[in-house]
Chain A
Amino acid sequence: MGLYRDEAVVLRTQKLGEADRIITLLTRGNGRVRAVAKGVRRTSSRFGSRLEPFTYVDLQLAEGRSLDVVTQAETLSPFAARIGSDYERYTAGTVMLETAERLVIEDKEPALQQFLLLIGALRAMSSGERSPSAVLDSFLLRSLSVAGYAPSFDGCARCGLEGPHRAFSPSGGGMLCSTCRVPGSASPAVETVALLGALLAGDWAVVEASEPRHRKEATGLVAAYLAWHLERGLKSLSHVER
């Protein structure tokens, strides 16, 4: 069975048997990979903390029949330490991991854009320079876009008519003009719509200048948009502290 090397972010770990774990990874070259890490729960494990969620690692894996096996791990960036020591970062960051796991649907299908997006968001979150909540909202919109669910916050999501528009509908794909608007659409503040556009574009100057009430409204709309596009809700989303 072949050995291969890849860079990866650890998304999730699950206990297996006495002292092993199944590690779900988002890799640079091989997309989502599930692998066994043997003996990793023993405090004497040579892997130490290198296979904890949020950690960015350089791995060597051995191909297995159902699951691959981690044979070597070197830390590239210990995001875990900086995220686990702050509860707000931990809860918001966990939603990013769960989202990445869910939006990359097939194992071993390359998903380079999702990988780069996640690395960027983890870097921003662990630096502590930006609000974890805003980093999360921005990540969710961009990750959904990469998965093919890009929302529109300027032109009408249905007919393309130039905005700004007043109605927001998750099922409609974002903002809708007065002709395309569907019953049950939300009517967010103009500032909130601008903020959503900035979160999607990564325009941090606009995000940081925004008011708390607009951030709060944007967060609610992002959650609604995410819920519409994921079949089952995320387990971690309701635990985010904000």
Chain B
Amino acid sequence: MYEGVVQDLIDELGRLPGVGPKSAQRIAFHILQADPVDVRRLAEVLIVVKDKVKFCSVCGNVAEDELCRICRDQRRDPAVICVVEESKDVVAIERTREFRGRYHVLGGAISPIEGVGPDDLRIRELMTRLADGVVTEVILATDPNLEGEATATYLTRLLRPMGLRVTRLASGLPVGGDLEYADEVTLGRAFEGRRSVDD
């Protein structure tokens, strides 16, 4: 244990995802030895990001306004929605330049063991978006792992009776990984080869 504020810093850092106690300590000492200007810039950007960045009221992507950049863009096809788990997946798919529709960010995947069920994700918002009949295709681009597959299974069951074309990214994405780590070529190919979900 360290004294007062140093320990507070270690504790706060240790609450970040993927940061264990040892890493928290290492980052804390890095900050202690760093240039005060650099540290101030980090502190400011943390405050600003919480102040300014919101979530798009339509698709749930990170946004600096009421709507995100993609939802504001009139050139994007409103008839196709690509459903992803996180905003970082939007970034990964945008890098492929394969997709010209809109997105819907769920905010995670259905994971009962973590206590996350369908009601904890932005599924109701998705259903609301589909109600006016503009959307004709929903692409399920959840992660190619168990939770992502189960989430896609759940959504398929919900969406198919609505008479929409429901597609899933073509396999070729190795199962088990996170979408964000797929390279552009693989992900682009998965988009091109997407298939209707049937049975």
Contact = CB atoms under 8 A, between A and B. Distances in A.
B146 A54 contact: yes
Interface residues of A, number: 36
B145 A49 contact: yes
A43 B182 contact: yes
Nearest to B156: A87
Interface in B103-130: 110, 112-115, 117
A85 B153 contact: yes
A170 interface: no
A95 B157 CA distance: 21
Nearest to B149: A84
Contacts of A40: 176-177
Secondary structure at the A interface, as helix, strand, loop or mixed, is loop
Contacts of B157: 87
A45 B110 CA distance: 23
Given A80-B146, A87-B150, A239-B117, A94 B112 contact: yes
A16 B18 CA distance: 5
Contacts of A54: 146
Contacts of A98: 112-113
Contacts of B177: 40-45
Contact of A94 (B113, B176, B182): B113
B133 interface: no
A86 B173 CA distance: 20
Contact of A52 (B110, B146, B183): B146
Interface of B: 17-18, 20, 23, 110, 112-115, 117, 144-146, 149-150, 153-154, 157, 173-178, 181-183, 186
Interface of A: 12, 15-19, 40-45, 47-54, 80, 84-87, 90-91, 94-95, 97-98, 235-236, 238-240
Given A51-B176, A54-B146, A85-B153, 5 more contacts: A41-B176, A45-B176, A49-B145, A84-B149, A239-B117
